[in-house]
Structure 1
Amino acid sequence: MPKSKNEPQDRRVDHFFSFPGARADRWRALHAAARDWARNRSDQAAVRGEFDELGRYEEFFAYPGRKLLATLRQRIDGGQAGAAAALARRISEAILTRSYKADPDDWDSAEMAAETQPDLNTPTMARGQRNRPYFEMLLVAPGAAKRGDSLIEQIRRLRRPEDVFIYETVPVGSFEEAICAAILNPTLAAVTLYEGFAHESSADVPVLRDFLASAGFDAASVADDDLTLALADVIHRIRPELDIYLLSDRHVERIAGDPRAAKIRRVLYSVEELLELHLCVLEGVSDRFRTPFFDNLKKYAMRPISTFHALPIARGKSVFKSDWIRDMGEFYGLNIFLAESSATTGGLDSLLEPTGNIKEAQEMAARAFGADHVFFVTNGTSTSNKMVHQALVAPGDIVLLDRNCHKSHHYGLVLAGGQPLYIDAFPMTEYSMYGAVPLSSIKKALLDLKAEGRLDRAKMVDLTNCTFDGHIYNTRRVMEECLAIKPDLVFLWDEAWFGFARWSPFLRPRTAMGAAEAIEKWIADPASVEAYEAQQKQLGKNPSAAKLMETRLVPDPRKVRLRVYQTNSTHKSMSALRQGSMLLVKDIDFGEVEAQFHEAVFTHASTSPNQQLIASLDVARRQMELEGYGLVANAIEIALDIRKEINGHPVISKYFRVLGADEMVPAEYRHAGFVDFLTPGVDWEDQVRSMHEDEFCLDPTRMTLVCGTAGFDGTQFKKMLADDYDIQLNKTSRNSVLLQSNINNTRSDVANLIRVLLEICNGIEKDLARGGENGRATFAARVKSLMEDVPDLPNFSHFHDAFRWDAGKKTVEGDMRSAFYSAYYAEGCEYLPLDSPEVDQRLKKGPEMISANFVIPYPPGFPIMVPGQVVTKETIDFMRKLDVKEIHGFERDKGLKLIRPDHAKDHVRK
């Protein structure tokens, strides 16, 4: 642990985010130093230095514990090189393999015979498996530095054979130490607070202290009498999944009734027996561990059931008794068939109208994700998005929509009859991709509608957060400024790729639910009215649109109707099966739309949902509540490691690089001045400030890898990685591919990626050496074609007048639904080959060409044409320069499908 603020290299973003995961590395470093000492390759001082580095933060973890650490220190100070190396190895291996969670011998500080004459090459095997899930409880108590061992033993004596879980205690004595432990220790599942603990840590943790202050988690401004409840509030802000208990010897009834104690699960009288606390802690973890639907599905699978319904595969008899498809049963195993049923009784439940364990599982998911309601969806987030549109948007309603969002939003509006008012994201032409939609564009669209007297028609703002390429909105600011213009706007945030962010305190505020919670709290604060009134006084009566555009608007908290919907592709970032999705709701007016929302569910959800998908959603929630914090921290660490290794490698960086935040987000949207995670001189304070202030941030787990500088287009490189190296990825652009780290990745994956990239780079260099001057010229021309000769990105043009029957003059919304169904009439459509002279003739002289359908090239994966849109030269030029094979909605043999202008008026809504 660095000792002062004068060591900027240790304040880097990657150093801080890798802190929990790098713990095993530091123990291996200590073991290596001790081993070299035992072999006379190093000295005692080097080992002591490594141990001192560990000692500054090991108090925040239950293992190895004070006794083992004291024993190790004694061996180092006593010059026992071999014994110190053996114990360091045993602790290091236990941390790496996590065997200490199951093997009581790992906690034993007694010297064993094997340690007297250590075999430095043979790993210690774990013994005595307990087979009980393990967690740790943070215990914040006065004098914990002296009483720690006593507190640990008191809690250990409460264990019983019938306990389902086993846990160890992490005692700390101050506010600062408690926050440090909550940040650094992903194994924590519960927190117990004794009143009377100190403000500041006595330990030497300057970097963490600086971080707490910059993130607003420090104790400096908290009064003594508020310290306990303030700590509960801060811990809940950092890790809302943790159960918090408070032990007091005062009037516990009064404390329990304090509104500030709402984050505390239970207030206990501290002079009572500790067994009550022990039982509460186990019950709290058990409550999160329980998976209502999955638990019942397992019981159902064990029952001898005869099925007389239309699902022959249920129970597996048609599979395992078959001579021809038995291999499918052998591949998947018996349980998947035993757990199949089309029944909704007998211990199961109906996804369409849940009243039992599915309902309970959804309520638990709502608690976990900070929503009022959660709906499980087994048709993917495409269906979740369509459900929201159908439930909330009526024909003629205007929806402000990112033109580059997922196609499900566009099709959802076709089905609902809503009119899209497309707003364009900022372009990243060099990489053939778009970013996110600037707030100024959203505000301008709303103010234009207001100026035309049509603001009442605006129903929803629909945006993607984060985008495919990792752009994260300042969700709170977007919603607050929009609500200042229209207080009852509905917000749909498509967070298909961002569901994991709930479990990171750094990313959570930028999620829809995280921002909604903050706005909800702000509305309840009397100071919010004062802030609104002060701004109104400053703006004066009837401020101009220009004045409103340049002002960070404050909504009227007395008028705001907070209505936020968030869709998560749970399968994209959590341990759910493919197509598993959740729809999160925080809508103060949900009671008024609940009936129509259920109608939307009935419309889009299958009446035969897959049981395994539902169960996986239930289990995904359990996992994230109990270990999501550590898993997400590891995913961020993995991503930063990939960035560092690729961009810093002397060979790989010649041909590949991961784009920094400064290359992905224009400077005008990075007001805090943040450059990139790994830029020299940038530290985690800059990152924290950026997350609080900037209009757009970059999700660190999403990495745009430029491959055009290696002579590969994105599609070609993606195919080569999959076919030749068994490395899979998804999204590509003209000259890049997207790498994503998630809770499934390990450092072995990183090592394999780096090995493969180096092999490819070495191959390039060999080819260039063999090819001589001509080969180098050909390579340079290929790189130039990919990196410089890129087509301009077309923005949305406008809807044809025939489909703007009630639109305003300033805004570009249109009746896309009518245009979509106009294409159903063959006599009203025409086809024009893309390269035909007639296309160029009509671009110059008319009549206008009207797209009959969605045209979506992959990449970049967004619709460059929508039904009813006027086709412009920019769009035609872009299509002609595209060298991709997959273009949805376009048949190259037939050409562009267009609506005949003279027929367009026949099918519009009158």
Structure 2
Amino acid sequence: MTESVSSIDQIFTLSGLRTDHWRDLLAIARKWHAGKAEAVQVRQAYDALQAVETLHAYPGPQLLNALTAALDANNKESFVDLAGRISFSILARYYKEDAREWAVTPEQGRELAGSFTGSDPTAPHRPYFEVLVVAPPDSPRVAQNVQLIRSQRRKEDEFVYEPVVVTNFQDACCAIATNSNICAVAIFEGFNYASQFPMPQLNVMLQQLNITANDDDEHLALELAQTMADHRPELDIYLMSDRNPQEIASDSRSAHVRRILYAVEEPIELHLSILEGIRHRYETPFFDNLKRYAQRPVSTFHALPIARGKSVFKSDWIKDMGEFYGRNLFLAESSATTGGLDSLLEPTGNIKRAQEKAARAFGADHCFFVTNGTSTSNKIVLMSVAQPGDIFIVDRNCHKSHHYGAVLGGLQPYYVEAYPMKEYSMYGAVPLRVIKQGLLKLKAEGKLDRVRLLDLTNCTFDGHVYNTLRVMQECLAIKPDLVFLWDEAWFGFAHWSPFLRPRTAMGAAATLEKYLRSPEAQQAYDAQQQLLGENPDDEALLNTHLVPDPSKVRLRVYQTNSTHKSMSAIRQGSMVLVKDVDFHRIEPQLHEAIFTHSTTSPNQQLIASLDVARRQMELEGYGLVSNAIQIALDIRNQINTHPLISRYFRVLGADEMIPEQYRNSGFKDFLAPGTNWSNAALAIRDDEFFLDPTRITLVCGTAGFDGTQFKNLLANQYDIQLNKTSRNSILLQSNINNTRSDVAQLIHVLLEISSQIDERLRNDGEGAREAFEQRVTSLMTDVPDLPNFSAFDAKFRNDVNGQVAVEGDIRTAFYKSWDESNTEYVGLNSPECDQRLKDGPPMVSAKLVIPYPPGFPILVPGQIINHEVISFMRKLDVKEVHGYDSSRGLQVLKS
């Protein structure tokens, strides 16, 4: 990133770099103390931090004033000591636990000890957060109220908070963007709009996120509330008004305000409201109930011997399992759904409430917990919204659960192809033009009424994110009742980033829902109809950014979310999120699908972890996701700029993974010269595809390793784990679990491996260099062409009017293969295979065939096996190919 650290509105990176800035200050201060730097250098570094620190409660005015006084007095030792204490406290987050960290002197620390945090080791932990107070400048009344709010805090409170006071709209926006500790906002009317600090990025950011603000608005407080809700919808917002609160409550923008209070009322009301709001988000109905259940003396007479743990802890042979997992795991187990527990299949109590909280948190109308992973979530949705014989448009490279969902539900897939990235043996995402072509082709064949849904992966395994809003807009313009299933198994965390949220299914659905209700939607549609005429040809429709008829649209959006893949849920924890205007009609079908695909013995701990994951993301997800993004940017930067590592490894940018025609913004890479988060925000808003910044494709073929080989090397020798590889790359993912220590270890290992390669090539002579170059060439240049979907065999198609149908009956083909008399095997490299490719009869796949890597199905049941597929399989050098028996060959259906 190229911005100066002195910019207060460096909102895209500052939350992740704050500790670095303090360490930089401490480093220059120590040089000053040692006589190796000048005071003016310390002053510059300190001045750069002071503006930013006004947006945080800690270190606060007292400590900053003491630091300023030490610098003004040229007291080097005091400045270094205090700067070091503050820096370490921010890094280790001690200030959240110990009130003494806020003290200037030891005497003051003894007075503060135990006053509001966990400095008393015998006291229970109380989560810490900060409240942003937006108030008019130089207002004694507000200052008095802030002090009065502080005075309301008691040791009995469940949570502890500190206020952060700003005096204008722009500083308030920067505060919620940079300070992830802020969980609530109290807005007093009468504040200013403009900051005293320069704001080169803020207005650009607001514009690119489609957030508008009018500094002349009579109700600027409501403008601010709406802006904050757009950026961080999880925040509790309270409005303190001197006027009639009921007048403000009638404004539609007040929907974003949790409570409107009369400003002259006792501050205890605001204090209690703030705590109540946090308590509402902190509550985890199922987990809280499960903890209470575990403490009850229960006698079990049901089929779960490990419940209560007696069979484990009284055993002579498996006691070690109890010692490993702990007693609470077994105390909280039960197969009963009574006695205070609830049923996942028919929730009426605490599970239902937990799902309602998750729906609100993720911006959905409904949420359903799934304990069999998103593989099951996808099948549930497919079975709910479609019936046997329905056509669904689906990415051929999607997860196998979608293909098997078609088999189980009797759906007919119309496969659309993602653009290929041959040099890396992977696919990107499906261009919108290809999707529209599919819809228009089916319309021309008279099959549009049979098309039920569009099923896409967002984001893909390799990080390609769709412009979900535009995809839904344009598809609904062709088929207004089209259902959308967005498989966001890897992308659930994105809701907690204001930049990525608009590209999520629920984020785009909310935007589209609001747009369709506006007068502009009908005006845009009428103008487009006038431009296109009554019967536009397909080419005109393909070349137009279509808008739907708002009077006909039925907005029906489903998002499946592998909560365990990006949040703190136990493995297999998943959610189905729903925003469907016709949900009341299909709700019975969805419940039947849940009964069909879900276990009747769901794991209690897994359900609880979904409940807790929602709580965590609502209260600290913004900061955790910001940190995950910053860690990913650090990894990119360290690898691509290191003089030795970059000789053998590199991280691919958007310009290498997304063709130029899908990047209208011109965005190339996070590390491109002059690029910052405002450029990225523009690309997120406008481009057809964008790369998830937390997914990092590391090319290892240039170091002589294929993906699987390098993955195993990292795991076996360096204890670095990952799971996705391609022929010449590996995928690294940063998430809310990663720390700077993880980054340091990764870079250290890559440097060690690069040094070993460098030394070997230098010492082993010309032969070694030639062998290395040949290996690199085979991995990076001699790569197989990626096969597209060929076609379903005629027996599994329903051709119309001489036109060859693209959709197919995958279910019949799948079950036909269960009778061995219907199948035979053809060796991949056999003369028979070559002969049949040339002269027939055609070979028709009996199975889903999925090589790992790259992990996409190159064959599905009923698909014609062509020369393109065979060539690809013959060049594969991977050992794991699901659906293929190397000893017998390809299983094909007999003619």
The answer to whether TM tops 0.5 is yes
Instruction: Please name the residue that 2:811 is paired with.
Output: 817
Deviates more, 1:202-211 or 1:177-186: 202-211
Tell me how far 1:102 sits from its aligned partner: 1.8
TM-score, length of structure 1 as denominator length:
0.95
CA contact (8 A) 2:458 2:504 kept: yes
Instruction: Please name the residue that 2:359 is paired with.
Output: 366
- The CA distance in 2 between the partners of 1:898 and 1:546, in whole Å, is 39
Q: Does 1:785 align with 2:778?
A: yes
Deviates more, 1:203-212 or 1:809-818: 203-212
SS of equivalent to 2:414 = strand
Instruction: Please name the residue that 1:31 is paired with.
Output: 26
**Which of 558, 566, 571 pairs up with 1:565?**
558
Deviates more, 1:827-836 or 1:138-147: 138-147
Q: Does 1:197 align with 2:191?
A: yes
1:62-96 CA-to-partner distances (Å, cap 9, x unmatched) read: 11111221221111112221111111111111111
**CA distance 1:649–1:481, change in 2 (3 Å):** same
Instruction: Please name the residue that 1:241 is paired with.
Output: 234
Matches within 5 A, 1:854-893: 854-893=848-887
Q: Does 1:687 align with 2:680?
A: yes
**CA distance 1:146–1:210, change in 2 (3 Å):** farther
Instruction: Please name the residue that 2:622 is paired with.
Output: 629
Deviates more, 1:53-62 or 1:601-610: 53-62
Instruction: Please name the residue that 1:535 is paired with.
Output: 528
**CA distance 1:363–1:114, change in 2 (3 Å):** closer
CA contact (8 A) 2:378 2:560 kept: yes
Instruction: Please name the residue that 2:158 is paired with.
Output: 164
- The CA distance in 2 between the partners of 1:483 and 1:218, in whole Å, is 27
- The CA distance in 1 between the partners of 2:236 and 2:469, in whole Å, is 27
Tell me how far 1:626 sits from its aligned partner: 0.2
- The CA distance in 1 between the partners of 2:541 and 2:755, in whole Å, is 56
Deviates more, 1:306-315 or 1:127-136: 127-136
CA contact (8 A) 2:728 2:780 kept: yes
CA contact (8 A) 1:56 1:205 kept: no
SS of equivalent to 1:854 = coil
SS of equivalent to 2:14 = coil
- The CA distance in 2 between the partners of 1:830 and 1:31, in whole Å, is 72
Tell me how far 1:684 sits from its aligned partner: 2.4
Tell me how far 1:766 sits from its aligned partner: 1.8
Tell me how far 1:111 sits from its aligned partner: 6.7
Instruction: Please name the residue that 1:92 is paired with.
Output: 87
**CA distance 1:810–1:8, change in 2 (3 Å):** farther
Letter in 1 for 2:857: P
Instruction: Please name the residue that 1:833 is paired with.
Output: 827
Instruction: Please name the residue that 2:69 is paired with.
Output: 74
**Which of 822, 833, 853 pairs up with 2:847?**
853
CA contact (8 A) 2:201 2:678 kept: no
CA contact (8 A) 1:176 1:218 kept: no
CA contact (8 A) 2:848 2:857 kept: yes
- The CA distance in 2 between the partners of 1:702 and 1:9, in whole Å, is 26
- The CA distance in 1 between the partners of 2:200 and 2:67, in whole Å, is 25
Letter in 1 for 2:865: V
Instruction: Please name the residue that 1:708 is paired with.
Output: 701
Instruction: Please name the residue that 1:134 is paired with.
Output: 128
1:29-61 CA-to-partner distances (Å, cap 9, x unmatched) read: 222222332333323212211110001211110
Matches within 5 A, 1:457-472: 457-472=450-465
- The CA distance in 2 between the partners of 1:17 and 1:224, in whole Å, is 27
- The CA distance in 2 between the partners of 1:95 and 1:503, in whole Å, is 23
- The CA distance in 2 between the partners of 1:210 and 1:35, in whole Å, is 38
1:123-172 CA-to-partner distances (Å, cap 9, x unmatched) read: xx995456211000111111168777545422211112221101000111
**CA distance 1:591–1:215, change in 2 (3 Å):** closer
Q: Does 1:798 align with 2:791?
A: yes
SS of equivalent to 1:460 = strand
**CA distance 1:472–1:146, change in 2 (3 Å):** farther
Instruction: Please name the residue that 1:906 is paired with.
Output: none
Instruction: Please name the residue that 1:62 is paired with.
Output: 57
- The CA distance in 2 between the partners of 1:734 and 1:75, in whole Å, is 58
Q: Does 1:738 align with 2:701?
A: no
1:242-271 CA-to-partner distances (Å, cap 9, x unmatched) read: 011111111211212322211111111111
- The CA distance in 1 between the partners of 2:696 and 2:170, in whole Å, is 34
Instruction: Please name the residue that 2:274 is paired with.
Output: 281
Tell me how far 1:109 sits from its aligned partner: 2.4
Instruction: Please name the residue that 2:592 is paired with.
Output: 599
Instruction: Please name the residue that 1:503 is paired with.
Output: 496
SS of equivalent to 1:703 = strand
**CA distance 1:499–1:238, change in 2 (3 Å):** same
- The CA distance in 2 between the partners of 1:403 and 1:45, in whole Å, is 62
Matches within 5 A, 1:471-486: 471-486=464-479
CA contact (8 A) 1:151 1:171 kept: no
Matches within 5 A, 1:257-336: 257-336=250-329
Letter in 2 for 1:827: S
What is the RMSD of the two structures over their aligned residues, measured on CA atoms? 2.0
Letter in 2 for 1:41: K
1:657-716 CA-to-partner distances (Å, cap 9, x unmatched) read: 000110010101001110100101223222111011000000000000000000000001
CA contact (8 A) 1:144 1:172 kept: no
CA contact (8 A) 2:208 2:685 kept: no
**CA distance 1:210–1:371, change in 2 (3 Å):** closer
Q: Which runs of 4+ in 1 moved over 6 A?
A: 9-12, 111-115, 145-148
Letter in 2 for 1:668: Q
Q: Does 1:105 align with 2:100?
A: yes
**CA distance 1:104–1:206, change in 2 (3 Å):** same
Give aligned-pair identity as a percent. Answer: 62
- The CA distance in 2 between the partners of 1:290 and 1:652, in whole Å, is 47
1:386-434 CA-to-partner distances (Å, cap 9, x unmatched) read: 0011111111100000000000000001000110000000000000000
CA contact (8 A) 1:11 1:207 kept: no
Matches within 5 A, 1:368-767: 368-767=361-760
TM-score, length of structure 2 as denominator length:
0.97
CA contact (8 A) 2:459 2:466 kept: yes
**CA distance 1:263–1:113, change in 2 (3 Å):** closer
1:527-583 CA-to-partner distances (Å, cap 9, x unmatched) read: 211111111111111011110000000001111100000000000000000000011
